[in-house]
Amino acid sequence: MGRVQGRGPRGGRRGHRLVSDVEDGTGAGDSESSDQEKVEDPSNGSDPSAAPAANAVAVLEYLVKQVVEDPEAVSVSTSEGRRGGLQLDVRVGAGDMGRVIGKRGRIAQSIRTVVRAAAVKDETSVDIEFVD
């Protein structure tokens, strides 16, 4: 493990040490890093039958089902979005739309933010619509 003293690119404080886990080029950890390169991520698109934005859809369904009173009435459908991404349409039971939207749309906006972050793992962009 190498140690760096002084100021970093963001300024830092004088006299404080920054500790890095970057190897210093001695070759001590080379065999370990080559083993890690051989390991493949099973969720790396190896299943061609997987639905597009599967993580985003799963996160969206989970979040909405936690908010509503009738989780069985929640349905999420996908279609092609306006900007080349995916559009996710959320339908909930009759009395639950207000719960999903929240005061001034805060819950709906929070759900959109979290689902868009989950869509990054799917390498796509999503638009979420809450449909009556």
Domain assignment of residue 44, yes or no:
no
Are 61 and 118 within one domain? Answer: yes
SS3 content of the chain, % helix, strand, coil (to 5): 40, 20, 45
Domain assignment of residue 46, yes or no:
no
Among 23-32, 35-44, 90-99, 101-110, the least confident range = 35-44
In the chain, the number of structural domains is 2
Question: For the domain that residue 112 is a member of, what is the CATH number?
Answer: 3.30.300.20
Are 60 and 34 within one domain? Answer: no
Single pTM value for the model: 0.61
Q: How confident is the model at residue 22 (pLDDT cuts 50, 70, 90)?
A: low
* Residues forming beta bridges with residue 40, ordered by sequence position: none
CA–CA distance, 92 with 36 (Å, rounded to integer):
44
* Three-state secondary-structure class, residue 77: strand
Range of the domain at 23: 3-38
Are 92 and 117 within one domain? Answer: yes
Are 65 and 107 within one domain? Answer: yes
Give whole-number Cα distances, 84 to 50, 92, 125, in Å: 19, 26, 8
Are 62 and 125 within one domain? Answer: yes
Are 74 and 18 within one domain? Answer: no
Are 59 and 93 within one domain? Answer: yes
Q: How do residues 69-125 score in pLDDT, each as one tens digit? A: 999 999 999 998 888 889 999 999 989 999 999 999 999 999 999 999 999 998 999
Are 67 and 126 within one domain? Answer: yes
